[in-house]
Structure 1
Amino acid sequence: MPSPAIAVTGATGRLGGRVARRLAAAGVPQRLVVRDPERAPQLPGAEVATAGYDDGLAVEAALRGVPTVLLVSASESPDRLRQHETFIDAAAAAGVERVVYISFYGAAPDATFTHARLHWATEQHLRACGLAFVALRDNLYLDFMPALVGDDDVIRGPADGGRVSAVAQDDIADVAAAVLLDPARHDGRVYDLTGPEELTLAEAAAILSAHLGREIRFHDETVEEAYASRAGFGAPGWEVDGWVSTYTAIAAGEMAGVSDVVPRLTGHPATSLAELLARR
């Protein structure tokens, strides 16, 4: 049997799984590259290959014969960039033509958000390898906004009055599927994916209040307060830096701005926070 034209990573997760289901619904054969084949979704037209991002030989074998790969970024970890580089090098060795990479909004070497710097470095490695690629730079996940609320109904963080244009995972998946169905047309493009509105966290709290039927407040911490309030979680320093810099990036204006990519590539409006909450 001929190899499918598309490989999808992260198919056991929230975003990769959404993309894989959309491709299956469109009748597109695909190869799901997963670490645990027992957790791979059972989809029509999908075959499963086993490989972790940090196992170059396994990745090369899993991607052989597939021209286009969706690379969902690895889970946050101290060696996340090394995993990305290993995967990309293996993809090039396997003869992959292009990578559609789930990057991050405002990716830059001097970005305030620590993980946005990592995504920039990953994009640079893709360029250096000579692979055609498309970068989907998604803003914060709109789906996770309710999780910012603490047990005391307060959103805490040093975001000041900055704005964030969070984007729904379903919208990201719709864009990714549209790109994967006609990938050559998008080669070399960098797409900023946002929701239809840019909200302060105080405004987000008001929308959450209306949905939940109780008062949700935003407390603008200082940076020092933010590190202190998260110290009790026992998380490593790099992880806490990521948490705190999410908010300081909002304060710096690096999460603001609304793009037209979601409606332009999917044909439907981007999802607002109120709309997402109403669907739950």
Structure 2
Amino acid sequence: MANLPEVAVTGATGGLGGMVARHLAGSGFAQRLLVRDVSRAPDLGQAAAAACSYGDGEAARRALDGVKVLFMVSAAEAEDRLQQHYAFVEAAADAGVQHVVYTSFYGAAPDATFTLARDHYATEENIKASGMAFTFLRDNFYLDFLPQMTDQDGVIRGPAGDGVFSGVAREDIARSAFAVLRDPAIHQGKTYNLTGPEELSMAKAAEIITAGTGRTVAYHAETVEEAYASRAQYNAPAWQVDAWVSTYTAMAAGEMAGISTDVHGLTGQDPISLAEFLTRPVL
């Protein structure tokens, strides 16, 4: 596979990976799209598709043969996501990948309140230990998710209290990733915190969504006990419910607060606010 492009993009059939792939294609970059099903890979000019999954080391090594720079979107949430990441990182190192650009999470740490941020930290450490060069994009909470978080009554429920987050649009993350992939050498060893331009409480976010969409949206601050009880109806596994609830408790703990200038530094453009995001077409 040495005649295939040396830049590989995972998740090209999804939201973030698809945006990054389109940015690269629009600028004439050759790229290798790593997808589970080659028939679903987007048609993007100088893009070649290769089939693999994160957990299949043998297929991943074949798909990554000849790749120098890898854009690694974190795998879909699953109980074994961290093991999938480890297998894929090992395959990348075995295949000779030189530089991994990984989408992590804001405040990733071994003791982060948000349970999945702990997995992101562990993945970062695994990439560092692999010997490959790295760039980490630590994304704050996605603005794209906010309008979808209401229940049937138009209420966002969760134990965030008055805590704030600095939500970032997926479009800004994609543009930041493209900036890194366009000239990866200058970003080696860097960790970028990708946030929006403002700190928002859930109550303020609900007000902005109401004003921007015409839907009446409100925020109800649950206790932690109420949060677990209200989510019991979904019969989800414990790890997933913990992740849902800890998204909010991380906000309450102040772990998603703070505004970074990294989006502007990478792209030359100010990040998108929630009010602006609500006026933009769905990509």
TM range (shorter): over 0.9
* Corresponding residue number in structure 2 for 1:37: 38
Q: CA deviation at 1:36?
A: 1.1
SS in structure 1 of the partner of residue 117 of structure 2: helix
Question: Matched residues in 2 for 1:212 and 1:16: separation?
Answer: 27
Question: Matched residues in 1 for 2:52 and 2:213: separation?
Answer: 41
Question: Matched residues in 1 for 2:69 and 2:231: separation?
Answer: 40
* Corresponding residue number in structure 2 for 1:258: 259
SS in structure 1 of the partner of residue 83 of structure 2: helix
Mapping for residues 217-256 of structure 1, pairs under 5 Å: 217-256=218-257
Question: Matched residues in 1 for 2:216 and 2:43: separation?
Answer: 42
TM-score by length of 1: 0.98
* Corresponding residue number in structure 1 for 2:269: 268
Q: CA deviation at 1:270?
A: 0.1
Q: Which runs of 5+ in 1 are unaligned?
A: none
Query: Does the CA-based 8 Å contact 2:168-2:195 persist in structure 1?
Result: yes
- Residue by residue over 1:236-263, the C-alpha shift from the partner in whole angstroms, topping out at 9 and shown as x without a partner, is 1111000000000000000111100111
Q: CA deviation at 1:147?
A: 0.9
- Residue by residue over 1:66-110, the C-alpha shift from the partner in whole angstroms, topping out at 9 and shown as x without a partner, is 100000000000100000000000000000001000000000000
Identity of aligned residues (%): 60
SS in structure 2 of the partner of residue 52 of structure 1: coil
Q: Which amino acid aligns with 2:255?
A: E
Moved more, 109-118 or 2-11: 2-11
SS in structure 1 of the partner of residue 192 of structure 2: strand
Q: CA deviation at 1:212?
A: 2.4
Q: Which amino acid aligns with 1:203?
A: K
- Residue by residue over 1:166-195, the C-alpha shift from the partner in whole angstroms, topping out at 9 and shown as x without a partner, is 100110000000000100100000000000
Question: Matched residues in 1 for 2:250 and 2:165: separation?
Answer: 9
Q: CA deviation at 1:148?
A: 1.2
Q: Which runs of 5+ in 2 are unaligned?
A: none
Moved over 3 A (4+): none
Q: Which amino acid aligns with 2:196?
A: G
* Corresponding residue number in structure 2 for 1:48: 49
* Corresponding residue number in structure 2 for 1:161: 162
Q: CA deviation at 1:124?
A: 0.6
Question: Matched residues in 1 for 2:52 and 2:268: separation?
Answer: 34
Question: Matched residues in 2 for 1:248 and 1:117: separation?
Answer: 14
* Corresponding residue number in structure 1 for 2:79: 78
Q: CA deviation at 1:2?
A: 3.3
* Corresponding residue number in structure 1 for 2:173: 172
- Residue by residue over 1:16-58, the C-alpha shift from the partner in whole angstroms, topping out at 9 and shown as x without a partner, is 0000000000100000000011211110000000001001011
* Corresponding residue number in structure 2 for 1:140: 141
Moved more, 22-31 or 144-153: 144-153
Question: Matched residues in 2 for 1:3 and 1:48: separation?
Answer: 9
Question: Matched residues in 1 for 2:215 and 2:47: separation?
Answer: 44
SS in structure 2 of the partner of residue 32 of structure 1: strand
Matched, 1:209 2:210: yes
Q: Which amino acid aligns with 2:268?
A: G
Matched, 1:197 2:185: no
SS in structure 1 of the partner of residue 219 of structure 2: strand
Question: Matched residues in 2 for 1:12 and 1:138: separation?
Answer: 20
Matched, 1:278 2:275: no
* Corresponding residue number in structure 2 for 1:149: 150
Question: Matched residues in 1 for 2:202 and 2:154: separation?
Answer: 13
SS in structure 2 of the partner of residue 130 of structure 1: coil
Q: CA deviation at 1:211?
A: 1.6
Mapping for residues 67-106 of structure 1, pairs under 5 Å: 67-106=68-107
Question: Matched residues in 2 for 1:80 and 1:231: separation?
Answer: 23
- Residue by residue over 1:150-177, the C-alpha shift from the partner in whole angstroms, topping out at 9 and shown as x without a partner, is 1111110000000011100110000000
SS in structure 2 of the partner of residue 278 of structure 1: coil
SS in structure 2 of the partner of residue 279 of structure 1: coil
Query: Does the CA-based 8 Å contact 2:32-2:48 persist in structure 1?
Result: yes
SS in structure 1 of the partner of residue 34 of structure 2: strand
* Corresponding residue number in structure 2 for 1:114: 115
TM-score by length of 2: 0.97
Query: Does the CA-based 8 Å contact 2:106-2:117 persist in structure 1?
Result: yes
Change (3 A) 1:214 1:14: closer
CA RMSD in angstroms comes to 0.9
